[in-house]
Structures are given as C-alpha cells and as structure tokens.
C-alpha cells in the first residue's frame, strides 16, 4: 500500500472534486496512468459517450496508488477507492494528500 510513513496514514490521489459531475478515472492501461473522463461505449452503435454523475458527490473522491487487486483473486482490477470527508477544503483533480484512515467500507460495483 501507499503509506506516508505514519501509523494509520496513507497517501491518496483525488480523481473527482466534491461538487463536480464529471466521472474521472485513472487509466491503468496508458503509460503514467493519466486521469481522464470515463467513457461508456454503446453496444449497438459503437458510439462513445462521456460518463457523468447524476448528482455531484458531497466529498472528494480518489484512489490509493499501488493497491491493485487482480480479478483472478476476487478483485476488480482497480486501485482501492478513497473518500475524502474533509469539509473545509476542495481538492483539485490530481491533488496528492496524506490521509488518516478512519475506517473502511466493503462495496460492490
């Protein structure tokens, strides 16, 4: 895991700033793993559409680098998600911060 060196702290990267609707994701298949807007491909037409959230999240959202879990062992081939619950600060896309881990949630996409 990407630890900052202090007990119960991790380093995280913000993909989506609180209050925005663009669904951004880290692209694990491109060199340097850029963050780009998620795209949905229509099965019938092959046309691509940008994906957006219906309602903007009330928190900054991101991931913990170097935490991929293979689908071969029940993972989703993505990094562990991070929810930044700070109320005082909006963090821009690609912001890197140190986080104190308050807890974990087991979610299924």
Q: Give the integer Cα–Cα distance in Å for 42 and 22.
A: 18
What topology does CATH give the domain 9-100?
Inorganic Pyrophosphatase (3.90.80)
In 10 A of CB 82, how many CB atoms? 22
Domain boundaries, the chain: 9-100
C-alpha 2/C-alpha 24 separation (Å) is 21
C-alpha 70/C-alpha 33 separation (Å) is: 17
Q: pLDDT-derived band of residue 104, with 50, 70 and 90 as boundaries?
A: confident
21-37 confidence digits (pLDDT tens): 887 777 878 888 787 87
Provide the whole-model pTM. 0.73
Q: For 9-68, write each residue's pLDDT tens digit.
A: 899 988 888 888 887 777 878 888 787 877 778 788 777 777 777 888 888 988 898 887
| Longest CA pairwise span in the chain (Å) | 50
Q: Once rounded to an integer, what is the mean pLDDT over residues 66-71?
A: 78
């Amino acid at each position: 895991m990407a630890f900052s060196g202090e007990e119960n702290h991790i380093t995280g990267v913000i993909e989506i700033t609180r209050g925005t609707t663009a669904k951004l994701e880290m692209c694990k298949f491109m060199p340097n793993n850029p963050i780009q807007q998620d795209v949905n491909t229509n099965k019938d037409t092959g046309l691509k559409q940008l994906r957006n959230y219906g309602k903007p999240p009330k928190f900054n959202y991101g991931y913990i680098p170097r935490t991929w879990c293979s689908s071969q062992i029940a993972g989703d081939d993505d990094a562990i998600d991070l929810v930044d619950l700070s109320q005082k600060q909006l963090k821009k896309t690609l912001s890197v911060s140190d986080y104190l881990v308050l807890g974990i949630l087991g979610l299924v996409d």
